[in-house]
Structure 1
Amino acid sequence: KETIGDIDILASLKGDAAPLMKKFVANPQVEDVGAQGETKSSVRLKSGIQVDFRVVEDKEFPFALLYFTGSKEHNTALRGIAKDKGLKLNEYGLFRGEKPLPCKDEAEIYKALGLNYIPPEAREGMGEIEFAAKRAFPRLIEAQDLRGVFHVHSEWSDGGATVYDMAKEAERLGFEYMGLSDHSQTAAYAGGLKAADLKAQAKEIAAAQKKLKKLRILQGTESDILADGGLDYPAKTLDELDFVIASVHMRFKMEKKEMTKRLVKAISDRHTRILGHISGRLLLAREPYSFDAEAVFEAAAKHKVAIEINANPHRLDLDWRFLQQAKAAGVKFSINPDAHSLNGLSDTFFGVGIARKGWLTKEDVINTKSLAEIEEYWKR
């Protein structure tokens, strides 16, 4: 899920685990030691999160890994399948009566149950078992598939680094392109750029580009979607940019019908290339606003507007539960960090995890493609 209750750490070890347990509870991040045993210890970190550490035998490790990975719904279904086959499955092993059936890894456990291997992110009790009973899972997207990122902020708006520093870090991470998208003029609270600022920024981008070895910087904007669905700059200003991310940053409490019209109008604008953090949610802080997902997905597919998977840990938006519905409607996606700092560029890792939870493949995500391929896709 998007939020966690605690963290389970699992290891297999031959020999005495006591020294390992002693080192675990002595970690400088530990605030309180709840329990310290020979094979299991529990601590509470300074962040407030509980961490449980277990050491098991090698032969038990695949079963314990499967069990503690979860989810609860997935595990319950697997135990039911095992029972139907006259077997018993738990964190210690797979048994026929009292006889253990050894499995060297999770794939062998699934095979013993008559299933194809199910990636950890997909184990949510949402149709994955029925799918795996009939066919193999496709190769899900991986972090190394991403060739570039969009939705990057700099100190021109509310970011904490220069254009060059952000680009240099993106290049260090192995990206081929970086889409700079500072806030638009209505977002005054975030230092939104006026049209004249965009022209000045273009000069800085050109200067930064000369210092880079491989990465290409694209100039875009994260344009506010205004209350009526319009974008935040005149068309002549938007025409000068490489791309536009359209996002809602205000008026979150509109009625569902009006919010849907607002989003569809923004998507329909010929300048829009990506719909940013579609629901506006902030995890543990702000609920998503209401809109007709089917209508918005249909519009995005029609106008070749990618829907963002916002990888910022506070957003993780679009919700992974909607990814298959959007994909079925013909939507493509863009995994973006919404980075406001150098470290923020690495948040793409979380976005890939969300995409995998929605069973997305490399082919579903536009920024796994070359820049030339993306530009071709965006032609209308």
Structure 2
Amino acid sequence: MDLLRFATAGSVDDGKSTLIGRLLLDSKAIFEDQLEAVEVTSTARGYDYTDLALLTDGLRSEREQGITIDVAYRYFATPRRKFIIADTPGHVQYTRNMVTGASTADLGLVLVDARQGLTEQSRRHAVLLSLLRVPHLVLAVNKMDLVDWSQEVFERIRDEFVTFASRLNVPDLEVIPISALQGDNVVTRSENMPWFEGSSLMHHLENVHIASDRDLRDVRFPVQYVIRPKSDEYHDYRGYAGQVASGVLKPGDEVMVLPSGLTSRIAAIDAFDHEIDEAFPPMSVVVRLEDDIDVSRGDMICRTRNAPEPTQDLDAMISWMTREPLRPRQKLAIKHTTRVARAVVRDIQYRLDINTLHRDTDSQELGLNEIGRVSLRTTQQLLVDPYEQNRTTGSFILIDEATGVTVGAGMIN
């Protein structure tokens, strides 16, 4: 079975956590004692229904306020596919948490309250999913039970969102009416909306095609760790561990190690306890080469005629994640794949208004949760690809050297 990672998005109280709770419940992915605990808590609060949001909102402050603050990851599987869900917050001040949860997603699930229609935060999250190059997008029009299952309301919201999404980079869009609280159109088709001829949300999640989303052409293998066992049995063993970012690796392939430019051939590829015939993303493997060449953490194994571009000058979209603004001439640490260097901000080209998509070229700083186009200069050459081509080698994080806190996430243009 393949794995689908998807992230929820949308405004506050649109029902993101409730929807995930419904998916877990109806797919029988929670234990009886978990459900009993949620039912007891719901009754204690005076609810006449089971508050399924409690299955994902685990922080005390989340339960007290009835909102999502941190990203909550949940795992479940059906006979067709495995899933990793990132339940992201809807509040504006937690936009950075939403970016974190959506950065590795194959699919973005934007929820809209049918009573409210599209909100500023709904558009904001759709723009962020587009910037993060999430290849598949689903708009779930939730709480249809509160608008009497109105086809007219659904079609009005659908048409408005499709018009807005036409200005974004959204290659695949699906719109589905649901009621997360009652389960309509979540796992099974709804009898209350016979006018909707599409599939249920779960059916779409199980069948959306994601195999072609991964780059299997450009081989990129950032080396994370060099394995040299000290036992006599493996005295001559030298392997290079890491996660395949893109491409397919096979024994016998001619490869090049960057930045040295030395070439060799793959002798073998090891998984946990056995050799394998090929490795592809996102597998974590150990690669052994035929020649003893100098390879260390931060190096990259690639094809001899298909290598990333070494550069010290980066042009990137930055999502800023801390209260202290990003300004020109600021110095930060940068982590790109497995390589760490230092960087200086050369210029802020513009700040993006993610509600109107207006580019503010007069802005000379980026504040908390803002996004802008920035030029950076690094102390070492980094082996990069455009983010739209490779989300692993095309992304990086910025770190405050004094505190060690991640303060920004970047997507290379």
Fold-level match, TM-score > 0.5? no
More helix by share: 1
TM-score (norm 1): 0.30
